[in-house]
Structure 1
């Protein structure tokens, strides 16, 4: 719609401003008095030529490699232009002075071909600009669809990853015969409802994401004994800020996966701050266990890719281990100040 409006403005600019100014360069007064038919024919030809070019869209035909059609169109237009140069002179302008007649015919020929070149150049420049604009938009649409598909893939990978770890937690509670099992299943059902309700959403209020993290932390606390202390600090200055769903859970989940112990005292620290412009997450946990293969899990790798697609150049993510403590620092600029 916007492109069509721009095209309309350009057509109006050509028809109402550019061509009238160009025609005023001609001896209009003298031609109206002595050669009205030719002047009207020339004006009609110029406008017709412009709209033929606009409808034909030569750059698009060139991109489609329809060279024969382009050549045929240019030959026809050049032939019509040449024929126009033989438009009969009015009887009162015919003189016995052959040099004067040749000068008038030469002026007419130069005028006609001048307008032909002007209209051709202007039309091709406009169509080339629009074709480049169309190519850019098409490429952006393809990239947007690709990014959307990648986001869906990463999001789909996060959900099974989270469910697998949570089911392991419930399984451990069931085996131990804990009296917390019923409460754990209630919280787990709430988490599932959240995952189902936000499955198609790109952005959600931060309050819902923070509640989801709280439920997950509460669920993990149910399976932990007194050796693991969990500190969750949430500062929701602007709880209605829009954030991507399940953008924090991977880091919180990893803290519980690798930072808990049933025999050794340890602490998990989780800090989350949300205001109108920024989302900030910090986790710290003692490294109580490691992956057997020593490699990084898919969770953090997926989150990095997801953040890069959603917030390119607008986030910082630092992860690493120092003196047996694993730390995560994530800052997302969700809105320009």
Structure 2
């Protein structure tokens, strides 16, 4: 606005037409703040067209009244032609500033409204993603609990002396699950301790035919990692890669540093789903990864030559 006002012959007007210059400056700023206050683009989006027409008529009327501002007496004493020229130039100046302020204000309001719309969409998308993450997690937890209860049931039926120890570990797992149920990201040391407890629980039901290798390397235990994500792959390795009659190996490797989480599992395919369908666990993991780490992860899972492998690489920090 100050730059636009400087287009006027301020040095002459401040001497010969001070009152009009002050009035014009006040008009420019009042008109601008009135535009900001009524926010015409917002009214347009709300389809309040009558309000827009009324406001514009008020602004035009205010501008028209300013064109009748009296000339100083020393300017009126001249001949008729110069007075008409001055009045015409002043009227053009007033309407020019009306158009400038109108265009500038609308441009500002449109920009702000655009940013408001973008922020609103981002908030809606964030809430949607949060709801989807909660849904996928809620689907995984019962799936995990069902398989773990099957493990405990097998120990009870066999009359194993490891049953009591298994229930103690299972209660610890339950406490962990419900203590972090509202957190999507937790410190790596807590998640890895949970994985260790689960692996120890599974080893209680296995005999000498199944060999379990768990390798964990953590550079910083406070690095945040997704909660209860890796357990789905580990659970599947024990469910489909163990046998009480055939020698087999389940290998699990987790490496965490400040920037990456590397996870690998490898197991012989000892059994298949009875219904032949794909489970929801891994599919939900993919969806969680896509929501938590879009374009920042690589997941490969599949069987080859009777060996099922999972390779997951997550870039924990967005460095773009």
TM-score range, shorter chain: over 0.9
**Any idea what SS the aligned residue of 1:329 has?**
strand
**Any idea what SS the aligned residue of 2:221 has?**
coil
Counterpart check, 1:121 vs 2:122 = no
The residue that corresponds to 1:12 in the other structure is none
Counterpart check, 1:89 vs 2:71 = yes
Q: Superposed, which structure 2 residues align to 1:126-145 within 5 Å?
A: 126-145=108-127
Runs of 4+ in 1 over 4 A off after TM superposition: none
Residue 336 of structure 1 and its aligned partner are, at CA, apart by: 4.5
Give CA-to-partner distance per residue, 1:207-252, whole Å, 9 cap, x none: 1111111111110110011111111111112222111110100000
Matches of 1:33 and 1:214 in 2, distance apart? 86
RMSD: 1.2
TM-score (norm 1): 0.92
For residue 9 of structure 2, the aligned residue among 5, 27, 32 is 27
Residue 96 of structure 1 and its aligned partner are, at CA, apart by: 5.5
Give CA-to-partner distance per residue, 1:104-152, whole Å, 9 cap, x none: 1111011101111111111111111000000000000000000001111
**Any idea what SS the aligned residue of 1:170 has?**
helix
Matches of 1:207 and 1:129 in 2, distance apart? 46
Matches of 1:256 and 1:28 in 2, distance apart? 85
For residue 269 of structure 2, the aligned residue among 287, 299, 307 is 287
Matches of 1:69 and 1:240 in 2, distance apart? 56
The residue that corresponds to 2:226 in the other structure is 244
Give CA-to-partner distance per residue, 1:229-278, whole Å, 9 cap, x none: 11111111222211111010000000000001111111111111111111
Matches of 2:172 and 2:279 in 1, distance apart? 26
Residue 32 of structure 1 and its aligned partner are, at CA, apart by: 2.3
Counterpart check, 1:310 vs 2:298 = no
Matches of 2:153 and 2:88 in 1, distance apart? 97
The residue that corresponds to 2:204 in the other structure is 222
**Any idea what SS the aligned residue of 1:320 has?**
strand
The residue that corresponds to 2:153 in the other structure is 171
**Any idea what SS the aligned residue of 1:279 has?**
strand
Give CA-to-partner distance per residue, 1:78-112, whole Å, 9 cap, x none: 12111211111122211463221211111101110
Unaligned runs of 5+ in 2: none
Matches of 1:202 and 1:299 in 2, distance apart? 16
Matches of 1:184 and 1:96 in 2, distance apart? 108
The residue that corresponds to 2:94 in the other structure is 112
**Any idea what SS the aligned residue of 2:172 has?**
helix
Counterpart check, 1:159 vs 2:126 = no
Matches of 1:171 and 1:45 in 2, distance apart? 83
Worse overlay, 26-35 or 53-62: 26-35
**Any idea what SS the aligned residue of 2:265 has?**
strand
